[in-house]
Structure 1
Amino acid sequence: MNYFTIALQCIVAISILNVWLIQNKKPTQWRGGGATTIIEEFKVYGLPVWMCYVIGTLKVILALGLLAAIWYPVLKQPSALGLALLLLGSIAMHLKIKDPLKKSFPAFLFLIMCLYIAFGV
């Protein structure tokens, strides 16, 4: 059992759940463009509102998968890779609207953590 990987799983999962379930209607310095909510952020990216719900549902399920993977390791790699793919999309959206690189930092950091979870020791 690798405690460092488990810690990363918890950090990523709890952070994703916080963003999508608790902070979704609050402004943060990381939101794309001048958006103050997640729905506004998707509009800034030129994406339909329904996609916000699809992406949010996927992120919540995959974050829960990372937590469940502590006891069911078979879920670890698919959950981490699924989140990595979605985080890559987040970075692409920030680049698309020419946000300052700083706004992509959390997504980039969590992408690196997810790749470590999926392929690390």
Structure 2
Amino acid sequence: MELIDYVLIILKVIVGISILNVWLIQPKKNTIWRGGDATTIVEEFKVYGLSKTFCYVIGFLKVSLAILLLASIKFETLTLISTLGLATLLMGSIIMHLLVNDKLYKSFPAFLFIVMNLTIAYLTL
């Protein structure tokens, strides 16, 4: 394997595990990154004017795409769909933060993971 292959694996693991952590391990944990004054993911979606059902749909998509991204370490054909899908959903996160006039720093994690996902996509082409 070449250096670029190791870089791709590292980026995929960072993004995949981070998304799984947010949605499966810490969905009820209060963090500085949550939109508005929300303390949980469900509350954050309420701040955005979105339903609990929509929260679960987005969560399902993000978790599924994160798992596919991790699986793409072994099955490269999964890379583009998972990384571009996550980048798209993360762009939605940034848009929602902007719509509720959150401070810019709250969008930083989504922005960082978009950059990482687009880097993965670029290096895969």
Coarse TM-score class (shorter-chain normalised): over 0.9
Residue in structure 1 matching 2:54, options 51, 55, 73: 51
Match of 1:28 in 2: 31
What SS does structure 2 have at the residue aligned with 1:120? Answer: helix
The letter of the residue matching 1:82 is G
Q: For structure 2, which runs of at least 5 residues remain unmatched after alignment?
A: none
Tell me how far apart the structure 2 counterparts of residues 91 and 26 of structure 1 sit (CA, whole Å). 20
1-structure distance, mates of 2:78, 2:18: 18
For residue 38 of structure 1, the aligned residue among 33, 38, 41 is: 41
Instruction: Find the partner of 2:65 among 58, 62, 65.
Output: 62
Q: Percent identity?
A: 64
Encode CA deviations 1:23-61: one digit per residue, 9 max, x unaligned: 000100000000000000000000111000000000000
1:94 alignment counterpart: 97
Partner of 1:84: 87
Letter in 1 for 2:61: L
Do the aligned residues in 2 keep the contact of 1:77 with 1:119 (CA within 8 Å)? no
Deviation at 1:16, TM superposition (A): 0.2
RMSD, aligned α-carbons: 0.8
Runs of 4+ off more than 4 Å? none
Alignment-mate amino acid for residue 38 of structure 1? I
TM-score (norm 1): 0.98
TM-score where L is the length of structure 2: 0.95
SS of 2:109's equivalent? Answer: helix
